[in-house]
Amino acid sequence: MHSCTLAHLSLVTSDRGRAVGAAICAPTRGALVRGKACHSVPVGTRPARLAFAGVALVVLLVLIASVYSYIPHRELPDDFDFYGEEITEARRAAVRELGAQLEAVAGRAQIEPLGLRGRIDSCAPGQDNFTRRDQYAYTCTLELVRLFPVREPARSEASRLGEALIEGDCPKGTTTDFALAEHRQLEDLPETGGDCTRGSQLVAPRIAGWFRVDSTPDELRSAATELPSPCSLRADEKLCEEAPLDLAAAARGAPRGAVYLAVVVARTTYHTVRW
């Protein structure tokens, strides 16, 4: 058990009260002057003032590091392997699960999705400190994307696709129906689901956005913002893999008669790592 006294800085002044130097005092064992050893540093010149500022910065950084070491916090595990055996097996199971969900949507809606598929697989590091306290050190999420073509009457078909996102019926309509009642154009719809009530988000595929088959390049770029965030925007790009969708190629490959393509995303948290 020991105690420590922080180093401090004090100005040395002349008899006219003008600062001519500074004393840097730090605790030393056996010191005879108030338990401190002091060294005078002149600050009358520019180099001396810069040196004084540098010393003050070092003292401040040491103080911050000392305080932080006493604040409860936990460091991320240094042995996390994005390609480890356990996470790889969990990833394969998640791919099968989400693929089955999207196939079930296609079956209920009686709509054959395009063959193109998108995929984002990422792990986000957590925090456990005085600013934020996450339950897990790492949380890994998988997102699969399929494009569903919609023919005229497009609004009715969009409603049918929304109903097909979740098994069962919503007598008063789904959140997709609620959004359709508020927007004229499908491309203006926010992300919607097959939930029966507003605010609820069941773990099921959702419609992330819409774009017309005859979209302009600018409209396609805008539609791309509805896709899951790319690896370059994730918390740790090294813990991310993606298979991006080419929306222009998808539009060219849409079946005859299709006027819109719905971006349907299925996502799940498939692996977590405790602190």
Whether 103 maps to a domain, the answer reads yes
Number of domains observed in the structure of the chain: 2
Question: Max Cα separation, the chain?
Answer: 94
* pLDDT at residue 94 tops 50: yes
Find the distance separating the first CA and the last CA of the chain, reported in whole Å: 29
- Say whether both 124 and 202 belong to one domain: yes
What token pair was written down for 189?
């719809």
Per-residue pLDDT tens digits for 136-175: 999 999 999 999 999 999 999 999 999 999 999 999 999 9
Whether 256 maps to a domain, the answer reads yes
- Say whether both 54 and 178 belong to one domain: no
- Say whether both 145 and 266 belong to one domain: yes
265 to 125, 226, 235, 251: CA distances (angstroms) = 23, 10, 20, 18
Query: pLDDT tier at 2 (50, 70, 90 boundaries)?
Result: very low
Question: Average per-residue pLDDT in the chain?
Answer: 84
187 to 25, 159, 246, 271, 275: CA distances (angstroms) = 68, 14, 18, 33, 42
Q: Is the dihedral of CA 131, 241, 150, 201 positive or negative?
A: negative
53 lies in which domain range? 8-70
Whether 20 maps to a domain, the answer reads yes
Angle between helices 85-109 and 154-164 (to 10 degrees): 130
What token pair was written down for 267?
């996502």
- Distance between CA atoms of residues 267 and 275, nearest Å: 24
Whether 80 maps to a domain, the answer reads no
Neighbours of 29 (CB within 10 A): 6
Per-residue pLDDT tens digits for 193-215: 999 998 777 789 999 999 999 99
- Say whether both 64 and 103 belong to one domain: no
- Say whether both 247 and 175 belong to one domain: yes
- Say whether both 40 and 143 belong to one domain: no
Helix, strand, coil in percent for the chain, rounding step 5: 35, 25, 40
Q: 129 with 275: CB under 8 angstroms?
A: no
- Say whether both 121 and 250 belong to one domain: yes
DSSP string, 111-142: ----S-EEEEEEEEE--BSSS-B-S-SEEEEE
Q: 133 with 254: CB under 8 angstroms?
A: no
Mapping DSSP to helix (H, G, I), strand (E, B) and coil, where does residue 266 land? strand
* pLDDT at residue 10 tops 70: no
Residues 106, 112, 115: CA angle, nearest 5 degrees: 110
Q: Which of 200, 187, 190 is nearest to 247 (CA)?
A: 187
- Say whether both 23 and 147 belong to one domain: no
What pLDDT is stored for residue 44 in this prediction? 56
Whether 113 maps to a domain, the answer reads yes
- Distance between CA atoms of residues 145 and 247, nearest Å: 12
- Say whether both 148 and 21 belong to one domain: no
What token pair was written down for 144?
């699969």
- Distance between CA atoms of residues 105 and 264, nearest Å: 10
- Say whether both 152 and 62 belong to one domain: no
Whether 114 maps to a domain, the answer reads yes
Whether 79 maps to a domain, the answer reads no
Whether 77 maps to a domain, the answer reads no
- Say whether both 169 and 235 belong to one domain: yes
* pLDDT at residue 40 tops 90: no
Query: pLDDT tier at 244 (50, 70, 90 boundaries)?
Result: very high
- Say whether both 89 and 66 belong to one domain: no
Identify which of 78-82, 197-201, 244-248 has the greatest average pLDDT: 244-248
